[in-house]
Amino acid sequence: MPYEGQQAELVSFRGHNGDMAQAYYARPARPGKVPGVVVLHHIIGWDEWTTEVARKFAHHGYAAIAPNLFFRFGEGSPDDVAARARGRRAALRTPR
């Protein structure tokens, strides 16, 4: 049974080497324990689709967190950040 109310917000968390990152966190508004899921974004990056999936899980009774896995590539539109991530990945594969 879907829940009518939910809460969603950006939260900060400490990543590897103490780096601060953000995640989108959505959960049912009712009190009490609920199951949880981690939503991983696709290659395009952390975008509206990712947050919508987290909200859908919350609507169906789950606590869902969607971390921004590209946070080290800086701010910008999802396309810009994903392009920087792809460039970095290509540089790592290039033989020296």
Q: Hey, what domains does the chain have and what are their CATH numbers? A: 6-93 (3.40.50.1820)
Nearest to 27 by CA among 53, 62, 60: 62
Asked if 78 and 47 count as a contact pair (C-beta separation under 8 A), the reply is: yes
User: Amino acid letter at 87?
Assistant: G
pLDDT score of 63: 97
Residue 28 β-bridge partners: 6
In this prediction the pTM is 0.76
Percentage of the chain lying above the pLDDT 90 cut: 43
Asked if 88 and 45 count as a contact pair (C-beta separation under 8 A), the reply is: no
Asked if the model's pLDDT at residue 28 lies above 80, the reply is: yes
Asked if 77 and 92 count as a contact pair (C-beta separation under 8 A), the reply is: no
Q: Across the beta sheet with 63-67, what order do the strands follow?
A: 6-14, 20-28, 63-67, 36-38
Binning pLDDT at 50, 70 and 90, where does residue 84 land?
A: confident
